[in-house]
Structures are given as structure tokens and as C-alpha cells.
Amino acid sequence: MPDSGQLELDDEEDTHFAMVLQPQLAGGRNVFHRMFGYANNIQDPVIEIEVMRRLGAHFYNDHKEEIQAGAKDWTLLFQVDSDLQFLTMWGDSGMLYFIIRNEDLAQGQFEETKFDFQCY
């Protein structure tokens, strides 16, 4: 499921998206633990950042087509959000991301799984 940043929503629709589709814990903080699907990126898209690293690209727009094509070869394995219920806080309410190439996932080879961390 995409996060609201990936959808073209007006303010009212974005509010409904948050209320209906995003889980909340006590205190009203949204928590996004997830396996597969779309990452809830706090900063830049984690998969595209990994593709940029592999390409040696420093500027997205200079390699946009290559980055987008390369991103199709990756998937979110899982993400772990800061969660007060489990007494975890990654930086300033951050999130841990683990991504894997589709081919490696299909073959059960997790040795090349990549990790990224983002926070506010």
C-alpha cells in the first residue's frame, strides 16, 4: 500500500487516509511496521538511494531513468518503525529499512540484504 506522499490527495483526502488506513498507537503517533510492499520513507526513497549508490550517482535528475529502472529490481523486505509499545526509538522517531533484490529474494539468498535508517 502506498503512503499518502505517493498519492495525489488534497488535504481532506490526506486526513481521511491517515485516519482510516494508517494504524495509530496511544498518543496518536502513527506506526508503520511492514513486510514487503511500499516503504514509508521518512526522507528519500530507500530503494532509489540504494540504486544511486550502486550507480555512483550523486544527483537523482542526472540519472533518473536508470534509477527508476534499477529500482524495479528491488523490494522492501521489511521496515521497523519506532514503537513505544515495544520500547524502540530509532533516532528521532525514525525507521529501519531492509531491502533486497527481487532475484535474491526469489532464491532465498539474504546475504546481500541492504539496510538503511532514516529519522526526522
Angle at 108 between CA 107 and CA 114, to 5 degrees: 105
Residue at 38: amino acid letter? Y
DSSP reduced 3-state for 74: strand
What are the boundaries of each domain within the chain? Answer: 32-118
- The C-alpha torsion from 71 through 73 and 78 to 80, rounded to 10°, is -20
| Residue 42, CA distances (Å) to 3, 5, 46 in order | 10, 10, 9
- pLDDT by residue for the chain (120 residues), tens only, comes to 445 456 677 888 776 666 555 555 445 567 888 999 889 999 999 999 999 999 999 999 999 999 999 999 999 999 999 888 788 888 888 999 999 999 999 999 999 999 999 998
d(CA 58, CA 16): 36
Asked whether 9 and 17 are in contact (CB, 8 A), the reply is: yes
- The C-alpha torsion from 41 through 44 and 46 to 51, rounded to 10°, is 160
